Structure 1
Amino acid sequence: MTTRPHRYVTATDGQLLAVYSAGDSTGPTLVLVHGYPDNATVWDALVDELSADHHVVTYDVRGAGRSTAPEDRSGYLLGQLADDLRTVADAVSPDRPVHLVAHDWGSIQTWHAVTEPGHAHRFASFTSVSGPDLDHAGHWLRKAPDGFRNVLRQAVRSSYIGFFGTPGLPEAAWLTGIGGAALSGLERIGGGHRVPARRATRDYLNGLSLYRANMFRRFTRPAGRRTGVPVQVLAPTHDAFMVDQVQSNAGRWADDFRFHRFQGGHWSLRSRPGPVARRVRALVGEIESGAPRPVRNLTAQQARRHGGAFAGQVAVITGAGSGIGRCLAFELAERGARIVAVDVNAPAAERTAELCAMITPGARARRVDVTDSAAVDGLAAWVREEYGVPDMVVNNAGIGVAGPFLEATTEDLERVVDVNLWGVVNGVRAFAPMMVESGGGGRIVNTASAASFLPSRLYGAYSATKAAVLGLSRSLRGELAGRGVSVTAVCPGLINTGIIANARVSGLGEVSGTKDRLNRLYRLRGYTPEKAARRIADALGSAPEIVPVTSEAHIGLALSRLSPAAIRGYARLAPPL
């Protein structure tokens, strides 16, 4: 058990809860709630990170650590656990609301407390790590808003719940050491410094009542529990027990919600406390400062549709002044993200940010030429200062160039390489290091093109730059995978964005007539940037390697893998002009 001094607080039913305090008693009070089969010692590393400027309180939940245990299973019902949390909060900070941080089963009972109207006013914020509200999870399992594949994935990861509900078997597993050995293996998932857990046999055995008293009734008869308490959900990238979607789904039930991923496994708060501490400190500082918060202006229908996979996140989008970039900014803002709209056209970027801010407050605009590496570095420094490390960077800025390669001017070739390739390179080099340093969990999205795997005699230079972006993205995905940063290449296809109107055209006769014919082709295809943005945003939730958008992009990608000869033949065809 922890060696810090403790005192006992008496719960409403007479149980004694062991409470530990550390840090600055004049600072904001944080109450940390542990999960199963842990006790308050699971927080020791995080306490060390936060105690310099916070009053940090931990406690052993009933049945764990030094706290007493109820004789009857009903003593572990969620309502009683929520009452315990309220009792501790009143004891350690009677005059001010406390900030909550919870993990695993601690998150489950804390969700119940913040969604209980009689308790919610005592809580200033809630950071949940790897733990859902059981009622929210029950609705998610029944309605499958993120698809049955994710429900199946979660069902597999939650299969241990049925085992814990079986009389006698889990007790035997814990007492023989088999369960402890299995748990030790699971704790290694996600890497990080190996910190041995300090648990007692009673922690393993008493906590089984948490599952047996609550799981069945909450999953089979879920209630609709909402909260106005600001909520931040932190999802480890290698959580052995939770999929992202069931955690981000909680955004449907919280008025002020943020969802962030970070590199690590289920017990990262012990092995990698830094990323958790940074997020907790940022949220607590924001709430304590009284600064405007990114409350989403969503209708009930939008909340049901989008959940919270991007809620509270910071997304930097280059080329956001028009086309797919602007529409993706709108789409992510609608899903709760704070947008940094970047474009070489300052008025266009400002208009995008203005409209995004009407959906989710906090959007800003910056004029940056992505071909200027120093300017992109300056953008990254500004974003870090104003918002912290972004959750997503979309390197989308690009230009078109068409015509036979041998007739392209040196100026045209240099420009398309500078914008389409170096713009991506500069963005990655500016933002990826800070994403890795902050603990991972971020996403880099690079806009390539279906032209990267569908070569044509019409756009050799453009195809070359986009193929380079695709190859770079695939390589970076492998390089950064072990560091918690995902990389995705988007390959749109024929999207009616107006890119042709600004494209350089050479060697195809009268330029304006060629552009008119090309624009007509894109209009006839009829795939709008709004539709492309929805498709991209939907796909980014699972961080795939490649997002082909249109049907021709899907077909082209498949042919490039299955029939390279067909692709070579396609490259010889004259364009339909």
Structure 2
Amino acid sequence: MSHNEVESASRTRTVTTQDGLELVVEERGDPSHPTVVAVHGYPDDRHVWDRVAADLAADHHVVTYDVRGHGGSAAPGAPAGYDLELLAADLRTVTDAVSPDAPVHLLAHDWGSIQTWHAVTREDGTPSAMDGRVASFTSISGPCLDHVALFLRRRGLRDLRPVLTQALHSWYTLAFRVPVLPELMIRSGLLGALVARTERIPRPSVRDAVNGLELYRRNLPRRLGRPQPRRTDVPVQILAPLGDAYVTPAMATSAAGYAPDLRVRYLPGGHWIVRKRAGVIARCVRELVAERSGGTAAPALARAGARGAALVRTGGRPGRASRWEGGLAVVTGAGSGIGREIARQVADLGGRVVVADVSEAGAAETVDLVTRRHGPGRAVAAVVDVADEAAVAALAERVAAEHGVPDLVVNNAGIAVAGSFADTTAQEWQRIVDVNLWGVVHGCRHFGALLAAHGEGGTIVNTASAAAYLPSRSLPAYATTKAAVLMLSQCLRAELAGAGVGVTALCPGFVDTPITGATRFAGTDDATQAVRRRDAAAAYTRRGYTPQRVAARLVRAVERDLPIAPVTAEAHVGLLASRLSPGLVRALARVDGTR
């Protein structure tokens, strides 16, 4: 066995707590590397971290341990032995044993996070249990109980919705405080089977599940009834699973008012994300450790810091700022029209934008508009023909290398061809399919792969059209490509759902954009084409629906994760008509709108 293999092998020992209990501690990796101490929750033991620990052990010293009453560790003889103060003291004992000379990086989940929050925070005028021993803390699905109580009181006075939502998620905390019945359900196997089946995890140990009930019974009444504004200066990273059945994202980030050095990442996944997405958890921890060790913050971590700062400013109240602040968007066709306004809207909300367009001058003008409003750094230009797959692939690679994986990708570039099917040439068909369909396919393939592999979710918006579901004898080529984009978006939405990546088809109607003045009218000479372009542009101008309103609609669609986002009134009515009265829609398709 090589030296590296010896250093990475698992090593187990015991440590003795201040009240005489033996705790089982497992170590992996080279002790000379930064130490990460991971604390498990209920009803788990240290093995919940095995996959995360195996990943991190390549370049970290990783320590896991069975908390008192769980796994191989001894159990206290009385319920008082599960008080948070003793659990916090245990964490200090373990860290002093495994890293006596250097601060450690803490990683915790569920009740492990609850006790770790208690250990790293302090009441006014008193030191914390971990004073001087913590370099960073990554918390998953476990808030500080004092913060929870203060959050519920503060929000309950102004907005009952998050309070009621969390109450529905936390029903089990009341059930666990009922005498005898929870123990009977656990020992019968019913509760373990239910958790294992619904969460798709191994069935928990009966001993762990029974002992852990005292965590709820001893600590919830004491901390929720008399909360203190416990604060910490420790750099904190909160990983909030969006599909957590027990802890809502709002509750997970309730520490925002008490942890000023905060980073927040909303991750696709459920409560036991530590088992199912170990690679993502390990990467998030690795990035924070690297930053705290003097390295440059990874782009995703920098965005998490901007999001955390927004939450701190609002006292933990989630909103648009926490959704968009510091984010990164890539928008194609952003040199004019709808794409330009989407880029400006994202920048206005605090995000950064890669402005991609086939026109170098158009992209530069959009960047200049954003820079004049927000200063340098909010927008960068990229020249790309979306019909060229190699160019799109190179753009995706360059964006990831220079700016990180984007949160939002808007495949917006498009052209228009009007005229009958008979008049539309093969060359005109080829060009519109290359841009409107293949351009979206290329963007989805190369940027979608980045988002899915990154594991932090995101959104792809594909600009379709009301023409996607409203056939017209005047727009066979355009409508065909946009219908294909709509169907592609719905198929891709189903495929990427498991990766937490949303896909939205944006369907504008008659919008006043430069595309009307560049429409190709098939089967016409230059003079006739110029007249029709002028007439079409005038008609759209009279309609008066601006690209700014489309961009605002896109923002709402992304926030609500809509599958289809019709924009104008005619787009809404057309979608409804296509579903309720397709015969009427087919009849209207016979009208020639080009004359």
Is residue 275 of structure 1 aligned with residue 280 of structure 2? yes
User: How many residues of Structure 1 are paired with residues of Structure 2 in the alignment?
Assistant: 564
Equivalent residue number for residue 188 of structure 2:
176
What stretches of structure 2 of length at least 5 have no aligned partner?
Answer: 1-8
Change (3 A) 1:10 1:184: same
User: For 2:179, which of 161, 167, 178 is the aligned residue?
Assistant: 167
Superposed, 1:91-490 pairs within 5 Å as: 91-113=97-119, 116=122, 122-134=133-145, 139=151, 143=155, 154-188=166-200, 196=202, 200-215=205-220, 229-235=234-240, 239-243=244-248, 246-247=251-252, 255-262=261-268, 265-292=270-297, 293-294=302-303, 295-296=305-306, 298=310, 300=313, 304=317, 305-306=319-320, 308-309=322-323, 314-329=328-343, 331-332=345-346, 339-346=353-360, 349=363, 355=370, 364-386=380-402, 389-402=405-418, 406-408=422-424, 411-438=427-454, 441-456=457-472, 459-482=475-498, 485-490=501-506
Alpha-carbon distance between aligned partners in 2 of 1:146 and 1:478, rounded to the nearest angstrom: 37
Q: Would you say the 8 A contact 2:13–2:25 is kept in 1?
A: yes
Q: Would you say the 8 A contact 2:155–2:162 is kept in 1?
A: no
Is residue 5 of structure 1 aligned with residue 21 of structure 2? no
Q: Residue 548 of structure 1 aligns to which amino acid in structure 2?
A: P
Structure 1 residue 425 displacement after superposition: 0.5
Alpha-carbon distance between aligned partners in 2 of 1:28 and 1:444, rounded to the nearest angstrom: 37
Change (3 A) 1:511 1:232: farther
User: For 2:583, which of 561, 565, 570 is the aligned residue?
Assistant: 565
Structure 1 residue 36 displacement after superposition: 0.5
Is residue 48 of structure 1 aligned with residue 69 of structure 2? no
Structure 1 residue 448 displacement after superposition: 1.5
Change (3 A) 1:301 1:32: closer
Change (3 A) 1:70 1:438: same
Change (3 A) 1:479 1:8: same
Change (3 A) 1:333 1:360: farther
Alpha-carbon distance between aligned partners in 2 of 1:315 and 1:362, rounded to the nearest angstrom: 10
Superposed, 1:27-38 pairs within 5 Å as: 27-38=33-44
Structure 1 residue 112 displacement after superposition: 4.8
Structure 1 residue 573 displacement after superposition: 4.8
Q: Would you say the 8 A contact 2:35–2:61 is kept in 1?
A: yes
Q: Residue 160 of structure 1 aligns to which amino acid in structure 2?
A: Y
Q: Residue 439 of structure 2 aligns to which amino acid in structure 1?
A: G
Q: Would you say the 8 A contact 1:250–1:308 is kept in 2?
A: no
Change (3 A) 1:573 1:510: same
Structure 1 residue 212 displacement after superposition: 2.9
Alpha-carbon distance between aligned partners in 1 of 2:444 and 2:588, rounded to the nearest angstrom: 32
Structure 1 residue 371 displacement after superposition: 1.1
Q: Would you say the 8 A contact 1:310–1:332 is kept in 2?
A: yes
Change (3 A) 1:46 1:168: same
Q: Would you say the 8 A contact 1:322–1:348 is kept in 2?
A: yes
Alpha-carbon distance between aligned partners in 2 of 1:223 and 1:538, rounded to the nearest angstrom: 37
Alpha-carbon distance between aligned partners in 1 of 2:569 and 2:256, rounded to the nearest angstrom: 32
Q: Would you say the 8 A contact 1:261–1:442 is kept in 2?
A: no
Q: Would you say the 8 A contact 1:115–1:227 is kept in 2?
A: yes
Alpha-carbon distance between aligned partners in 2 of 1:140 and 1:451, rounded to the nearest angstrom: 47
Change (3 A) 1:372 1:22: same
Alpha-carbon distance between aligned partners in 2 of 1:360 and 1:175, rounded to the nearest angstrom: 62
Change (3 A) 1:111 1:425: farther
Alpha-carbon distance between aligned partners in 2 of 1:576 and 1:250, rounded to the nearest angstrom: 59
Structure 1 residue 470 displacement after superposition: 0.3
Equivalent residue number for residue 5 of structure 2:
none
Q: Would you say the 8 A contact 2:347–2:378 is kept in 1?
A: no
Change (3 A) 1:564 1:351: same
Structure 1 residue 389 displacement after superposition: 4.7
What stretches of structure 1 of length at least 5 have no aligned partner?
Answer: 189-193
Equivalent residue number for residue 6 of structure 2:
none
Alpha-carbon distance between aligned partners in 1 of 2:83 and 2:351, rounded to the nearest angstrom: 36
Change (3 A) 1:114 1:384: farther
Alpha-carbon distance between aligned partners in 2 of 1:244 and 1:251, rounded to the nearest angstrom: 12
Identify which range, 562-571 or 470-479, moves more after superposition.
562-571
Question: Per the alignment, in what secondary structure is the counterpart of residue 5 of structure 1?
Answer: strand
TM-score for the superposition, normalised by structure 2: 0.79
Alpha-carbon distance between aligned partners in 2 of 1:351 and 1:90, rounded to the nearest angstrom: 58
Q: Would you say the 8 A contact 2:38–2:107 is kept in 1?
A: yes
Equivalent residue number for residue 570 of structure 2:
552
Alpha-carbon distance between aligned partners in 2 of 1:322 and 1:110, rounded to the nearest angstrom: 51
Per-residue displacement from partner, 1:369-391 (whole Å, max 9, x unpaired)?
21110011112223343455544
Per-residue displacement from partner, 1:519-542 (whole Å, max 9, x unpaired)?
42342x3x552x544443343345
Q: Residue 209 of structure 2 aligns to which amino acid in structure 1?
A: Y
TM-score for the superposition, normalised by structure 1: 0.81
Alpha-carbon distance between aligned partners in 2 of 1:121 and 1:571, rounded to the nearest angstrom: 73
Change (3 A) 1:223 1:551: farther
Question: Per the alignment, in what secondary structure is the counterpart of residue 510 of structure 1?
Answer: helix
Equivalent residue number for residue 3 of structure 2:
none
Per-residue displacement from partner, 1:112-148 (whole Å, max 9, x unpaired)?
5555585587544433333445566563797499998
Question: Per the alignment, in what secondary structure is the counterpart of residue 165 of structure 1?
Answer: coil
Change (3 A) 1:415 1:79: farther
Structure 1 residue 34 displacement after superposition: 0.8
Is residue 513 of structure 1 aligned with residue 542 of structure 2? no
Alpha-carbon distance between aligned partners in 2 of 1:281 and 1:140, rounded to the nearest angstrom: 33
Alpha-carbon distance between aligned partners in 2 of 1:229 and 1:17, rounded to the nearest angstrom: 26
Per-residue displacement from partner, 1:229-278 (whole Å, max 9, x unpaired)?
5544445575443455654777787654242424x543342344233223
Alpha-carbon distance between aligned partners in 2 of 1:109 and 1:352, rounded to the nearest angstrom: 49
Q: Would you say the 8 A contact 1:7–1:18 is kept in 2?
A: yes
Equivalent residue number for residue 191 of structure 1:
none
Change (3 A) 1:25 1:414: same
Q: Residue 387 of structure 2 aligns to which amino acid in structure 1?
A: T
Question: Per the alignment, in what secondary structure is the counterpart of residue 446 of structure 1?
Answer: strand
Question: Per the alignment, in what secondary structure is the counterpart of residue 166 of structure 1?
Answer: coil
Per-residue displacement from partner, 1:276-320 (whole Å, max 9, x unpaired)?
223332333344343253442759359743263456655433234
Q: Would you say the 8 A contact 1:448–1:491 is kept in 2?
A: yes
Structure 1 residue 423 displacement after superposition: 0.9
Change (3 A) 1:548 1:519: closer
